[in-house]
Amino acid sequence: MVLRLIFALVNEILSHYPSNYKQSGIIPMLDLAQQQHGGWVPVAAMDAIAKIVGVAPIRVYEVATFYSMFNRTKVGKYHLLVCGTTPCMIRGSRDIEDALLKHLGVKRNEVTSDGLFSVGEMECMGCCVNAPMIAVADYTKGSDGYTYNYYEDLTPKRVVELVEMLRRGETPPRGTQNPERKNCGPAGGMTTLLGEPKPPPCRDLDAC
């Protein structure tokens, strides 16, 4: 039953590409394998993918080792990825990472002894306007319940609170953690563009 389901998913992935470009399915298949394998991709999975798409295993290894979203060693059920790029860094991402590592008692890329958490680093995740931020890859519910959520406008205190909510099995609210902001709008509400804009001035051609 499980194998049938996996083949159905693989066929669904392959159906998106021309039959002579099956290798285009390598990335989505690595992603699927990672979700099904608790957050990391073993060599056996890469070999199986190579067989499915009909390429030498090295072709899959080189993809899996190039993209930092693919983990090649065990991670926690909740893999916490701290953004380390400049906007997040100048907004305190190092303090966020330090708070996480200290609270969980691990080094970067280590897994906590209960297997629940690990802390990694990612480059810019496109959320600089709400820096500093982390992404949480949640592997607790297999590939069906897999989520990858952003938590933004973090402080060292708030990130520890988020970890404890996850530990209790709660689902913390995604997005900005600053109660004064809505999505990526300004704290305290809009200050400009508050009313209907005036139409642009038009030249009265009849008056010419």
Does residue 119 belong to the site contacting ligand FES (CB under 6 A)?
A: no
Does residue 131 belong to the site contacting ligand FES (CB under 6 A)?
A: yes
Does residue 83 belong to the site contacting ligand FES (CB under 6 A)?
A: yes
- Closest of 80, 70, 61 to residue 135, by C-alpha: 80
Residue 124 labelled as part of a binding site: yes
Closest CB 94 distance from ligand FES, rounded Å: 12
Does residue 9 belong to the site contacting ligand FES (CB under 6 A)?
A: no
Contacts of residue 4, defined as CB under 8 A and 6 or more positions apart, other chains included, come to: none
Does residue 69 belong to the site contacting ligand FES (CB under 6 A)?
A: no
**What letter does residue 186 receive in the DSSP assignment?**
P
Rounded distance, CA 171 to CA 162, Å? Answer: 9
Does residue 133 belong to the site contacting ligand FES (CB under 6 A)?
A: yes
Maximum distance among all Cα pairs of the chain, rounded to whole angstroms: 82
C-beta of 140 vs 178, nearer to ligand FES: 178
Contacts of residue 136, defined as CB under 8 A and 6 or more positions apart, other chains included, come to: 78, 79, 80, 81, 147, 148, 149, 151, 162, 166
Q: Which residues are annotated as a binding site for [2Fe-2S] cluster?
A: 83, 88, 124, 128
The binding site for ligand FES (CB under 6 A) comprises 83, 85, 87-88, 124-128, 131, 133
